[in-house]
Structure 1
Amino acid sequence: MEKPFLMLVEDVFSPRRQGGLVMPTGRIERGRIRKGDVVELVGFGGDALAHVTDIDVSRLRVNEASAGMNVGLLLPGAMAGAVERGQVLAEPGSIGAHVAFAADITLLPEEQGGTEVLTGESLDFCIRAATVRGVVTLPRETDALRPLHVGAVTVTLERPVALEDGQSFAFRLHGRAVGSGTVTQLLH
C-alpha cells in the first residue's frame, strides 16, 4: 500500500498569470499527488484544506507527481497568507502538528561545534524545512549533556510543526550546529 502524500513547503509564490492562485513549492517526501486532489496544510497553526488546481514540474504542467520530485502546487488564492516555508502539504488527516515531543539526541564533538546542553536551554530545531525555537528538558538525574553524549530529552517548541514518530531533526545553539536527534514520542 502506498504511503499518504506529504510535501515539504520550501517556498511560496504568487504566479503572475494565474490570478487568485498561490504556488507553494518543495519536494514530495512520499506518496503521489494528482490534479484535483485535496491537501491539508499542516504546521504553524495554519491548518486548512485546499484542492490542487494544477501541478508544476520545471515549468511544465503535469497531472500527477510522486515522491522525490520537486514541484509547485497551484492552490486557491485564499491560501496565500496561510502558506509559509516549513509547513507541509499532506493527505488530510495523515499527519498532525505538535509543539512537544520526546527525543533521543546526540551532540557533536567539540571540534565540530558540539557544546554542552542544559535543561531550559533554548535551541533552534531544524525539522524538515522548518526552523523553530524550542526549549529542551533533560531527565532529572542529568545536569547537562556534553559533546559526544547521547541522551533522552523532551522538547517544547514555540510553534506547532508537522511531526511523526521516528522523525529526524538537527538543532543549533547560538547559530552553530550542535547535534541531531530522532522523535521517539509525540506529546500532547
Structure 2
Amino acid sequence: MNAVETAFLMCVEDVFRLRQGRSVMVTGRIERGRVRRGDEVEIVGPGDGVIARVVDIDACRVRVDEARADMHVGVLLPGTAADLVELGHVLAAPGSIRAHACFTADITLLSEEQGGTDLMSGDRLRFHIRTAAVWGTVTLHGVDVVRPLHGAAVTVTLDEAVALEEAQPFAFRRHGRAAGSGTVTRLPR
C-alpha cells in the first residue's frame, strides 16, 4: 500500500459548535489511517480545502491521544468556523484526497422491483458518496439507454464537488427511490 492508501481519512457525520463558536467538534468514522493530537488535517469537500490542527480526540466520551481506522470519534478543531465543515465533507491527511465535481464511473441499475428504471443521458440523480448526498447529471457512453439490471460506463457531473478517489463506491437514487450503484473509474487530473 502506498502512503495515500494508508493516509488518515474520516467521513464527517456531524458538526458541533463549542466555546461560543470558537471551536468545532467534528464527529464521524475513521475510514483509514490514524490521527493524533496535534496533527494537521484538511477539510475536503465543496469549497477550498482548509487546514486545521487537531487539539483533542474523543472516543465514547473518553479523551484519547490517537484514533485509528474503524473508530467512531469526535475531533476538536479550534479556530475553525462551523460553516467550513458539514455533513459530506471528509477530514484527511493534507494533500491525500481532492474534491471533484466530475468523474467517470461504471454503474449498475437495480431491478424494477427494487426501484431501477430506464436511465438516459441527461437524467438527474441524487448521488450518495460516503456521507455526502448531492445532485448530479449522468451522461451515458456507448449506449442510448440503460435498462434495469444492466450496467454502463458513464460520466457524472455533480452540482458541487465532493471528496472522491478512484475505486470509490457510491449509490444513486431517482425520484426518491434507490436506483443503482457504481464505482468511480477515473477522475480528472
- State whether TM-score is above 0.5: yes
Q: What displacement does 1:19 show?
A: 6.2
After superposition, residues 38-53 of structure 1 pair within 5 angstroms as 38-53=40-55
Task: Report the counterpart of residue 8 of structure 1 in structure 2.
Answer: 11
Distance 1:46 1:73 in 2: 20
Q: What displacement does 1:138 show?
A: 0.5
Post-superposition Cα deviations, 1:7-47, rounded to whole Å, max 9, x if no partner, equal: 0001001235x862100100000000000000000011141
Task: Report the counterpart of residue 27 of structure 2 in structure 1.
Answer: 25
Post-superposition Cα deviations, 1:83-115, rounded to whole Å, max 9, x if no partner, equal: 100000000000000011000000000011111
Paired residue type of 2:106:
D
Paired residue type of 2:83:
G
Distance 2:185 2:137 in 1: 17
Paired residue type of 1:153:
V
Paired residue type of 2:162:
V
Q: Judging changes above 3 Å, is the alpha-carbon distance between structure 1 residues 176 and 19 closer, same or farther for their aligned structure 2 residues?
A: closer
The answer to whether the aligner puts 1:81 opposite 2:91 as a matched pair is no
After superposition, residues 122-137 of structure 1 pair within 5 angstroms as 122-137=124-139
- Give the unaligned 5+ runs of structure 1: none
Q: Please state whether the residue corresponding to 2:80 is helix, strand or coil.
A: helix
What is the RMSD of the two structures over their aligned residues, measured on CA atoms?
Answer: 1.4
Q: What displacement does 1:80 show?
A: 1.6
Give the count of matched residue pairs.
186
TM value normalised by structure 2: 0.94
Identity of aligned residues (%): 62
TM value normalised by structure 1: 0.95
Q: What displacement does 1:76 show?
A: 1.5
Paired residue type of 1:128:
R
Q: Please state whether the residue corresponding to 1:81 is helix, strand or coil.
A: helix
Q: Judging changes above 3 Å, is the alpha-carbon distance between structure 1 residues 55 and 138 closer, same or farther for their aligned structure 2 residues?
A: same
Q: Judging changes above 3 Å, is the alpha-carbon distance between structure 1 residues 21 and 150 closer, same or farther for their aligned structure 2 residues?
A: same
Runs of 4+ in 1 over 3 A off after TM superposition: none
Task: Report the counterpart of residue 185 of structure 1 in structure 2.
Answer: 186
CA contact (8 A) 1:101 1:156 kept: yes
Q: Judging changes above 3 Å, is the alpha-carbon distance between structure 1 residues 36 and 142 closer, same or farther for their aligned structure 2 residues?
A: same
Q: What displacement does 1:187 show?
A: 2.2
Task: Report the counterpart of residue 173 of structure 1 in structure 2.
Answer: 174
CA contact (8 A) 2:22 2:81 kept: no
Q: Judging changes above 3 Å, is the alpha-carbon distance between structure 1 residues 19 and 181 closer, same or farther for their aligned structure 2 residues?
A: closer
- Give the unaligned 5+ runs of structure 2: none
After superposition, residues 12-161 of structure 1 pair within 5 angstroms as 12-15=15-18, 20-139=22-141, 141-161=142-162
Q: Judging changes above 3 Å, is the alpha-carbon distance between structure 1 residues 157 and 19 closer, same or farther for their aligned structure 2 residues?
A: closer
